Structure 1
Amino acid sequence: MSTTLTSKGQVTIPKQIRDALNLAPGCTVDFAVNRDGDVVIHKVGACSSRQPDRFDVARGKADVKWRTDDLMALLRGEG
């Protein structure tokens, strides 16, 4: 499994590795190089809780039942 290094020195940890280490956003990881020159990644402790995404918090909260046509007409100033 391979990934590409960005110009900022960043890489995406492949999903299979994230799943195997139970990594989620907010987790701290440690990188090391072993005697053979292989890079080893370790999960450091428990993942910190991060602020919920503002859109996740708002999702499903609307109590106004708009029909798409009515909403589009309102947004276009057609009535």
Structure 2
Amino acid sequence: MRITEKGQLTIPIDVRKALGIRPGDEVEVRLEGDHAVLQRIERPADYSRLVIEQLRGKGDVPMTTDQIMALMRGDG
């Protein structure tokens, strides 16, 4: 395997299949001694909803949803 200038590498298909890694999955890379370990991160199916519920009401942004969306689109 060769590392790109950006530090990227391609995980071989047999390794992806063995670990059940698919496009969009998250993986963890950690050091164990002088080795790097790659592990697929398992998230519950409703993980995004759980994160949003935890964050709801935590912010103090005095903007409406429409104003935030316009800002993200570059309209604001």
Q: TM-score range by the shorter chain?
A: 0.5 to 0.7
CA RMSD, 1 decimal: 1.9
SS in 1 for 2:16: helix
Number of corresponding residues: 45
Q: Structure 2: which amino acid aligns with 1:15?
A: I
Structure number with the higher helix fraction is 2
**Aligned partners of 2:21, 2:15: CA distance in 1, in Å?**
8
1:42 aligns with 2:39: yes
Q: Paired residue for 2:17?
A: 19
The structure number with the bigger radius of gyration is 1
Identity %: 32
Moved over 2 A (4+): none
Q: Paired residue for 1:28?
A: 26
Structure 2 residue runs of 5 or longer lacking an equivalent are 46-76
- Higher relative contact order at CA 8 Å, sep ≥6: structure 1 or structure 2? 1
After TM superposition, the score normalised by the length of structure 2 is 0.54
Structure 1 residue runs of 5 or longer lacking an equivalent are 49-79
Deviations 1:39-76, CA, capped at 9 Å, x for gaps: 10010014x8xxxxxxxxxxxxxxxxxxxxxxxxxxxx
1:7 aligns with 2:12: no
Deviations 1:22-51, CA, capped at 9 Å, x for gaps: 11100000001102x1110010014x8xxx
